[in-house]
Chains A and B, each alone.
Chain A
Amino acid sequence: MVALFVVLTFIFFIILDILITKAQKQTHPALSSVYNAPVFDRHSLVVPSEVFLSKGHTWAKVMRDGFVKVGIDGFIAKALGRLFVTHMVPIGTRVKQGDVIMLAWVGRSNLQFRSPVDGVVESVNPELTGVGLKNGYSKQWGVMIRPTNLMDNIRSLKYGQEMTDWMRTEFNRLKDFLGSHTPQVAMAGVTMQDGGTVMEGAVSMINDEGVKDFQNEFLTM
C-alpha cells in the first residue's frame, strides 16, 4: 500500500500542476505548442565576417566586383520565425541609405527593411521572394546595389567587435520588448529578465500593434 501511496502522490502532484496552470491561464509545456519552437538565445547568433550591419537589421557585403549585396540579418530571421519577403525595390531604382528596399509579411502586418547604403539597385534575388527566411545570410540575400557613397555609408554601419556588442544589446532589447508585448505573460515576463532565452519566432506571436512597435523599435535607421 505504501508503494501505491507514493505513486499516487506523485501522480497527484503532476495533475495538480496541470490544473493549477490551467486555472492561472498559463501554458504548460505538455499542453501548449508554444514551447516546441526552437530556442534562440544570444549565443546562437552567428554573424559572418565580411558583412556590415545597419541599425535597421539589414546587412551589406561588399563584393570583389564592387557591388554590394544587401539582406536581412539573422537576428530578425530568428526573432520573427517564419518571415516572407514579398516586395523588393525594382531594378534601376536609385536608393539612399535608410530608404525602404524590401517588404516582408509577418502574420497580417508588413515590416519594412531599409537600405544600408546609397546606390542604384543592380539586381534582386528572385529566390528570396515567397520563401520563408531562414538564417538570413548566405543565399538569402535580397538586393544587389551599385554603391555611390560607400566610404561615407560604411561609417554608420557596424562591424567587428562593435557589431558583436550591438547584437547583444539588441538581444536584450528584444527580451524587454517581448516582456511588454507578448500576450502570454508566462512566456515573457517574470523569468526572461534573468538571462533566459527567447523562443524563436516569438515576435510572430504578438499582435498587429506589436508588429508596428517592432518596426519602430528595431527596423528604423
Chain B
Amino acid sequence: MKNNLIKALTSKITFWSSVAAVIVAAGLYSTFLRFTQGLGGVTNLNDAFPWGLWIGFDILCGVGLAAGGFTICAVTHIFNIEKFKPLTRPAILTAFLGYVMVIVALMYDLGRPWAIWHAIIMWNTHSVMFEVAWCVMLYTTVLFLEFSPIMLERFRMKKTLRVLRMALIPIMIAGILLSTLHQSSLGSLYLIVPNKMHPLWWSMLLPVFFFLSAVSVGFAMVIFESYLSAKAFNHGLKLPLLSQIAGVMSVVLVVNLAAKFIDMAYTGDLPYLSVMGPETYLFYLEILIGTLIPVAILSVRKYRASNKWLYIAAVLTVAGFVLNRMNVSVTSLEASSSVPYFPTIYEISITLMLVVLGMWAFKFIVRNFPVFEAHEEQPKIIVDAKAFRESGWAMQNK
C-alpha cells in the first residue's frame, strides 16, 4: 500500500502533471469566486493595503522574469554577438508568455477589468501607471512581432517573413527601449510613496535599481530556463554560453549592489542597516541570496563552468530578485500601513495557476513551433561547397 503510494507519487508522468492539474482546478475555482464575489471575497486586500500578491508577484516579478527577452535580444541583434542566437527564441517566447501572464493577472487584480481599454483613450501623461500600461501594450505587441517569424516559418509564409525580417531590427530596438522604460517604470511607481515606504528600499534611484536588477535576472532566467528545457525536452545544455552569460550577470549584480550602497551613503540611509527588525533581516537576505552568494559562486571559474553551481547561482539570483520585488511591494509598506497582509489561498492558487498555464503554453508552443532550432528557415543539411572549402578540404588537395 505504502509502496504503491510512493510509486504513484514518483511515477514518471504523473507527479508534476497531477500537481499542475490540482493547481489549475483550485485556480479555476478561485477564478469563479473572484468574478462572482469581487476582490473583497477572495483577497486579503484592504483599504490600508490595496496592492498584494498579484501586484507584487504576478506583475512586478512577472515582468522582471520576462526580462531575458530584451537582454538576449540586445546581445544577439544589437551587439551582434551571434553565438548567443540559439538562446534568443526561447527567451523571446518566455518574455511573450510572461507578458501575457501579466495581462491576465491584471484582469484579476483590476477592480474593473472591462474598462482596461480606457488607458488607450483617456490619457494622463503625469501617471507612471499610464506609462506602465502603454509599455505593457506596446511591448507585448513587439514581443509578438519578434516571435512571429517562428510561426511564419512553421506555416511557410515566406513573403510575410521577408517583410518582417526587414523590420526586425527597428522592432528589436523598440523592444529594448520599451523594456528599459517598463522595467524602470515599475520602480518609479513607488517613487510617490516616500513617506510610506521603508527607507531601505525607497530611493529616487528605484527606477535604476529596477532596471539593473531586471537585466541581471533576465540573464539568470535564460540560464534557469535552459535547465528546465533541457530536462523537459532532453536538450543538451549550452554550458559554455550559459557560463559567459552568468559572467555578465554577476557584473550587473555587483553594479546594482554598489549603486544601492552608494545611494544609501549619499542620502544618509546607511544607519537603517543597523536597526534590527523584520525589514532589515529581509533586506540582508535579499542581498545575500540575490547578489553576494551568486556573485561569489560565479567568481570562481571552476564553479562557473559547472552545471551544478551554475544552476544554484541562477536559482539564487532569481530567488533574490523575487525577494526584492516582494520586499518593495509588500515588506517595505507593511509597517507604515499598520495592517499585516498575507494573501488568501485564493490569491495564491490563482497566482500558481497562471504560472502553470504559462508553462503549459511554453511546452505546447515548443512542441509545435521551431523554437529551439536554428534561426535559419532552411534546414542546414545542404551540399555546401563553400562550407566545404572553408573547412580546409581545398588546401588538402593542392
A–B touching in complex (CB under 8 Å): yes
Smallest Cβ distance from A98 to chain B, in angstroms? 24
| CB neighbours of B302 from chain A (8 A) | none
Instruction: Say yes or no: B323 contacts A7, CB within 8 Å.
Output: yes
A20 contacts the other chain (CB 8 A): yes
CB nearest neighbor in B for A163: B383
Give CA–CA (A116, B53) in the complex, Å.
Answer: 67
A96 contacts the other chain (CB 8 A): no
Give CA–CA (A29, B236) in the complex, Å.
Answer: 8
Smallest Cβ distance from A105 to chain B, in angstroms? 24
| CB neighbours of A1 from chain B (8 A) | 278, 340, 342
Smallest Cβ distance from B383 to chain A, in angstroms? 4
A151 contacts the other chain (CB 8 A): no
Which of B6, B231, B234, B237 is in CB contact (< 8 Å) with A196?
A: B234
Which of A35, A45, A48, A196 is in CB contact (< 8 Å) with B388?
A: A48
Instruction: Say yes or no: A138 contacts B396, CB within 8 Å.
Output: yes
Instruction: Say yes or no: B315 contacts A14, CB within 8 Å.
Output: yes
Instruction: Say yes or no: A168 contacts B319, CB within 8 Å.
Output: no
Give CA–CA (A166, B343) in the complex, Å.
Answer: 59
| CB neighbours of B341 from chain A (8 A) | 2
Tally inter-chain residue pairs, CB-CB below 8 A: 163
Instruction: Say yes or no: B380 contacts A3, CB within 8 Å.
Output: no
Instruction: Say yes or no: B381 contacts A45, CB within 8 Å.
Output: yes
Smallest Cβ distance from A36 to chain B, in angstroms? 5
- B351-389: CB near A (< 8 Å → 1, else 0) gives 000000000000000010000111010011111110110
- Residues of A128-170 contacting chain B, CB below 8 A: 135, 137-139, 141, 159-160, 163-164, 167-168
Instruction: Tell which of A139, A163, A188 has the most Cβ of chain B within 10 Å.
Output: A139
| CB neighbours of A91 from chain B (8 A) | none
Give CA–CA (A48, B16) in the complex, Å.
Answer: 45
Instruction: Say yes or no: B392 contacts A138, CB within 8 Å.
Output: yes
Give CA–CA (A21, B367) in the complex, Å.
Answer: 22
New contact pairs (5) apart from A29-B226, A137-B393, A139-B393, CB-CB < 8 Å: A28-B231, A30-B308, A139-B392, A141-B396, A197-B234
* A/B interface sample: 25 pairs, CB < 8 A: A1-B278, A2-B330, A4-B285, A4-B323, A5-B342, A6-B322, A11-B315, A21-B231, A24-B11, A24-B15, A29-B231, A29-B311, A30-B307, A30-B308, A35-B236, A38-B236, A43-B373, A43-B380, A44-B374, A45-B380, A48-B391, A48-B393, A137-B393, A163-B383, A164-B382
Residues of B within 8 A of A (CB): 6, 9-12, 15-16, 52-53, 56-57, 226-227, 230-239, 278, 282, 285, 289, 307-308, 310-312, 315, 318-319, 322-323, 326-327, 330-331, 340-343, 367, 372-374, 376, 379-385, 387-388, 391-393, 396-397
